[in-house]
């Protein structure tokens, strides 16, 4: 990791530890105040506990023009970003996406879309719906490795993280506690439950928390849709296509709508926010990831609406290209932050026991 980023975060954490004005703001400060000295691992843990709500910055009396020049949200964001790149497996892929996120996302989607368009030659074996374009077996052969690779990559990264922060032995109770906090996005409520100041110093809002909720639960609904369809196909011999009033369709449509709406709102909030309170170098990569995730949902909904039209094969190629790009890039994009933050919350629950 970059030593200068850690040194700056350590300087600011030591000042915050002496002040303690922000003690009740979020999970960062109880964990920060429990430390006497800040190792590299402790700073990595604090950085991944931080949700960048920015309330502490606007409440702080030691920000510029004070000589202490504190900007804890940015200091932790820089360490957090650097930790994701350093812990990524493989490391080079993590560094590449955050520096050229938009270009990589667009090129990957288009490349995979062209691959699926060309794969029509492998074609259909007489199936219905989308399977008239590409057979079920061909889709499974392509997407199964693409699903397994991110799991392995993220698993290696989180194992590195757990070792780096020196977390205590894991217990089921710690995971349950972390899942409860993540499910409610507790740390985006702000210090007093009024919301965070992500957009503006004087405006407390739950907009960012609601957008995260929409994206998170929209993604989970889409994942549930695919899982249910897989069970119906293999266990109950009920292959797609499915009718509108079917569990896979109901879950997928509702999840897609939530995901698209949440991504649009997240991009709007990011464009309105002060970039100097986050990791500036990662801004393009963050927006690229949110755009990619929103496009996955949008292309899926478009495919549903126009699935019986003449342009269905082209739409299917674009949608499948976006989905494949999303899964393969997931360990190196902002999507990884969900896994790191859940792990940080778990480690924090273990530390507080």
∠ CA 51-215-56, rounded to 5°: 15
Contact between residue 290 and residue 270 where contact means Cβ atoms under 8 Å apart: yes
pLDDT of residue 124: 55
- Residue 192: the pLDDT is 65
Question: Which neighbouring-strand residues pair with 200?
Answer: 203
- Give every CB contact of residue 28 below 8 A, 6+ residues apart in sequence: 46, 49, 50, 56, 76
Determine whether 152 is exposed, middle or buried from the number of CB atoms within 10 Å of its CB (0-12, 13-18, 19+): exposed
SS3 197: strand
Q: Please state whether beta strands 196-200 and 203-205 pair in parallel, antiparallel, or not at all (unpaired).
A: antiparallel
Per-residue pLDDT of the chain (353 residues; tens, 9 = 90+): 788 999 999 999 999 999 989 887 888 998 999 888 899 999 999 999 998 888 889 889 999 999 999 999 999 999 999 999 899 998 877 777 767 777 888 899 999 999 888 877 655 555 666 777 777 777 888 888 888 999 999 999 999 999 999 998 989 999 999 999 899 888 887 666 677 777 766 677 888 999 999 999 999 999 999 999 999 988 988 888 888 899 999 999 999 999 999 999 999 999 988 899 999 888 888 898 899 999 999 999 999 999 888 899 899 999 999 999 999 999 988 888 899 999 999 999 998 87
CA separation, residue 13 to residues 129, 167, 285, 350 (Å)? 57, 20, 27, 21
Q: For residue 222, what pLDDT is reported? A: 96
State the SS3 of 66-79.
CCCCCCHHHHHHHH
């Amino acid at each position: 990791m970059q030593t200068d980023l850690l040194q700056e975060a350590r300087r600011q954490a030591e000042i915050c530890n002496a002040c303690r004005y922000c003690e009740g703001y979020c999970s960062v400060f109880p964990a920060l105040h429990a430390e006497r000295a800040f190792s590299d691992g402790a700073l990595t843990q604090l950085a991944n506990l931080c949700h960048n709500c920015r309330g502490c910055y606007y409440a702080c009396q030691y920000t510029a023009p004070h000589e202490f020049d504190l900007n804890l949200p940015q200091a932790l964001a820089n360490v957090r970003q650097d930790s994701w790149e350093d812990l990524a497996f493989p490391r080079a892929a993590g560094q590449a996406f955050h520096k050229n996120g938009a270009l990589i996302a667009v090129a990957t989607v288009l490349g995979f879309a062209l691959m699926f368009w060309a794969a029509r030659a492998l074609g259909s074996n007489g199936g219905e719906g989308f399977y008239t374009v590409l057979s079920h077996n061909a889709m499974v052969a392509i997407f199964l490795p693409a699903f397994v690779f991110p799991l392995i990559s993220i698993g290696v990264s989180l194992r590195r993280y757990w070792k780096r922060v020196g977390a205590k032995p894991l217990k089921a109770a710690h995971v349950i506690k972390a899942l409860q906090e993540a499910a409610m996005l507790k740390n985006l409520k702000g210090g007093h439950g009024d919301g965070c100041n992500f957009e503006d110093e004087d405006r407390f809002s739950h907009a960012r928390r609601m957008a995260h909720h929409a994206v998170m639960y929209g993604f989970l609904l889409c994942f549930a849709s695919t899982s249910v369809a897989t069970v119906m196909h293999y266990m109950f011999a009920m292959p797609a296509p499915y009718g509108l009033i079917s569990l896979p369709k109901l879950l997928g449509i509702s999840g897609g709508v939530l995901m698209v709406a949440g991504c649009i709102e997240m991009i709007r909030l990011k464009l309105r926010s002060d970039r100097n309170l986050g990791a500036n170098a990662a801004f393009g990569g963050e927006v690229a990831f949110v755009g990619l995730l929103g496009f996955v949902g949008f292309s899926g909904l478009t495919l549903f609406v126009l699935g019986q039209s003449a342009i269905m094969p082209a739409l299917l190629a674009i949608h499948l290209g976006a989905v494949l790009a999303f899964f393969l890039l997931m360990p190196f994009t902002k999507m990884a932050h969900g896994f790191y933050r859940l792990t940080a919350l778990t480690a924090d629950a273990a530390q507080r026991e």
